Amino acid sequence: MTHSDSPRPSGPDIPRGERVADKDWAFASCPDGWPGTPSTTDICLRTGFRNDRNYHLMYRATGSPVMGLGYLTTRDFVSFLRRASSDEAGGANPVPGLDTTLCLGISSSGMYLRDFLYQGFNEDEDGKRVCDGMHIHVAGVHKLFLNYRFAQPNPFSQQHRERYVPDTNFPQQYGVRGNPRDRVPDGILKRPMSDPKIVHTDTSNEYWQFRASLAGTTEGGRIDLTEHPRVRRYLLSSLQHGGHLGDPPGFGIGGRQCEQLHNPVHPGPMLRALLASLERWVRNGEAPPPSRVPRIADGTLVPPEELAWPAIPGTRYEGIVNGSGERDFGPGVRGNAGVIGRLYPDIVYPHRILVPQVDSLGHDIAGIRHPLVEVPLATYSGWNIRRREFGEGDLCDLLGSAIPLAGSRAAGREGGDPRPAREDLYAGDDEYVARVLAAARRLIDDRLMLAEDLVLLERQARQWYHATWNRP
């Protein structure tokens, strides 16, 4: 077992930390202190675990299950629902007559769908397509750590932890292109007869944590790539990875992990509209709205050190991202599958991770802006950083930030806040709500929001204007 203060830097090389002496830790439960009682599910450290340290345990395991069977299960079950009247035991198909299937994957299940496609499971045993369309949400460019011996599909790589997970090796993009390592062509969509149509959505957080820029650039981060005709990609501007509608913002796990309040803006209105667009695209060929993502060519996708983050009092910008590179896990690994031989993989070449450029408020310039971001009461971002006692300066997991505007011009000036105050922007809640609804109607016109979401949005906007968390 090793420990370190942080897995920095942002590059693909990861410090291995210091070894913990064998005599100083044990497989044991010790709620009352060392040495505790032997356990097969707990680890005890003689000096106790610290919140500001990362611990990495490597061990020799036995009895690996055949994890890749999960892909077969999904393939065969969906194919059965589409095409069979009954199963082999005589059980009736509960939904006979399906003519279209849409598959939705969010976060880890989105990574699952990307790898499901890449490894050829969207084609059933009769050579027919399984999922006609896929909505892949907040997966970045990760593929799931599943079709391996001793696979661990639950962990995924983040800047602060799990950085050795094999989830970002070539190909990252959907289209077929040459691997920089050996020039052999490869891509996620490489089977035209069974490839689905894809709507891929990421929040800002996936650019920082899940290397989302690599979905549209070369590995060196110098050139924008042409979009695959079966794919539409959208950035949900200035939002965090997940969350629940109506959750009041807090400071992370235990209410104390992150420096800033987490971002409470929920992407539901845009996601519902895009899912409806995907269905129309699959059913009758009506193309969805054009992709809305940041690009190198127009200056909206930049290296972290070039981000124009405003000098907001009480915040700091570290420029940290989840570094990446093509990794060599040994000769037993090929095509995101196999037997890992190098637990500390060699770096074949680094990836250059880019992030969305921001405006003077700190909001992403490119992408789809939620009306509550377009008409702000705070600066919203897709990233947050950890407090000193929890790994100072590292990214605070998958959480974003909400940094409220000053209420008055005088308060903002006194605090040195360069952003406009609320009173500079809105005469009161009626004006604020009216502007939020106007922004929503523009999204409706662009087919990026559904009209039925206006009622909920109006209620939410009025509540937010008077919420205590929005009052610094």
Going by pLDDT thresholds of 50, 70 and 90, the confidence category of residue 227 is very high
C-alpha distances out from residue 247 to 18, 244, 467, 469, Å: 39, 6, 12, 12
Determine the pLDDT at residue 95.
95
Convert the pLDDT of each residue in 339-349 to its tens digit.
999 988 999 99
Determine the pLDDT at residue 471.
63
Query: What 3 state SS string does 39-81 have?
Result: CCCCCEECCCCCCCCEEECCCCCCCCCCCCHHHHHHHHHHHHH
Convert the pLDDT of each residue in 436-467 to its tens digit.
999 999 999 999 999 999 999 999 999 999 98
Q: Which two tokens stand for residue 345?
A: 């993989």
What average pLDDT does range 4-9 have in this prediction?
A: 73
| b/e map 19-57, b = 16+ CB within 10 Å | ebeeeebbebebeeeeebeeeeeebbbeeeeeeeebbbe
How many C-alpha atoms does 386 have within 13 Å on its Cβ side?
Answer: 22
Say how far residue 237 (Cα) sits from the centre of its chain: 13
Residue written as token pair 């460019």: 141
Cα–Cα distance, 401 to 399 (Å, whole number)? 7
Cα–Cα distance, 16 to 19 (Å, whole number)? 9
Cα–Cα distance, 394 to 397 (Å, whole number)? 9
Q: Where are the beta strands (DSSP E) in 96-239?
A: 102-106, 133-137, 177-178, 185-186, 197-203, 231-236
Cα–Cα distance, 136 to 106 (Å, whole number)? 6
Determine the pLDDT at residue 472.
57
The answer to whether the CB of 146 falls within 8 A of the CB of 117 is no
Q: Which two tokens stand for residue 427?
A: 């005469």
Determine the pLDDT at residue 163.
80
Cα–Cα distance, 44 to 36 (Å, whole number)? 8
Residue type, 325: G
Asked if pLDDT for residue 222 goes beyond 90, the answer is yes
Out of 152-161, 201-210, 241-250, 379-388, least confident range? 241-250
Convert the pLDDT of each residue in 88-116 to its tens digit.
999 999 999 899 999 999 999 999 999 99
Cα–Cα distance, 111 to 165 (Å, whole number)? 13
The answer to whether the CB of 233 falls within 8 A of the CB of 180 is no
- CA torsion 255-259-263-264 (nearest 10°) is 30
CB neighbour list of residue 466: distance below 8 Å, 6 or more residues apart? 429
What average pLDDT does range 164-174 have in this prediction?
A: 93
Going by pLDDT thresholds of 50, 70 and 90, the confidence category of residue 334 is very high
Number of residues in the chain: 472
Residue (of 239, 268, 241) closest to 374 by Cα position: 239
Out of 9-18, 65-74, 166-175, 228-237, least confident range? 9-18
The answer to whether the CB of 309 falls within 8 A of the CB of 358 is yes
Tell me the Ramachandran region of residue 125: left when phi exceeds 0, alpha when psi lies from -120 to 50, beta otherwise. alpha
Please provide the DSSP assignment of 251-266 as one string.
-SGGG-SBSSBPP---
For the full predicted model, state whether its pTM sits above 0.75.
yes
Out of 149-158, 349-358, 394-403, least confident range? 149-158
Percent of the chain with pLDDT over 90: 82
Residue (of 224, 220, 228, 218) closest to 190 by Cα position: 228
CB neighbour list of residue 69: distance below 8 Å, 6 or more residues apart? none
Determine the pLDDT at residue 374.
98
What average pLDDT does range 306-313 have in this prediction?
A: 97
Q: At what angle do helices 429-445 and 268-284 cross, to 10 degrees?
A: 20
Q: Specify the higher pLDDT residue, 60 or 23.
A: 23
Convert the pLDDT of each residue in 256-299 to its tens digit.
889 999 999 999 999 999 999 999 999 999 999 999 999 999 99
Residue (of 235, 233, 231) closest to 197 by Cα position: 231
Cα–Cα distance, 127 to 106 (Å, whole number)? 26
Asked if pLDDT for residue 252 goes beyond 90, the answer is no
What average pLDDT does range 219-244 have in this prediction?
A: 96
Determine the pLDDT at residue 470.
65
Report the DSSP beta bridge partners of residue 25: 45
Cα–Cα distance, 352 to 104 (Å, whole number)? 29
Determine the pLDDT at residue 60.
86
Out of 58-67, 186-195, 286-295, 437-446, least confident range? 58-67
Determine the pLDDT at residue 343.
86
Q: Mean pLDDT in the chain? A: 94
Asked if pLDDT for residue 14 goes beyond 80, the answer is no
Cα–Cα distance, 260 to 403 (Å, whole number)? 7
Cα–Cα distance, 216 to 105 (Å, whole number)? 20
The answer to whether the CB of 369 falls within 8 A of the CB of 363 is yes
Convert the pLDDT of each residue in 347-396 to its tens digit.
999 999 999 999 999 999 999 999 999 999 999 999 999 998 888 899 99
Residue (of 149, 143, 254, 272) closest to 201 by Cα position: 272
Determine the pLDDT at residue 244.
80
Cα–Cα distance, 346 to 13 (Å, whole number)? 9
Domain extent listing, the chain? 1-59, 69-324+353-470
The answer to whether the CB of 396 falls within 8 A of the CB of 258 is yes
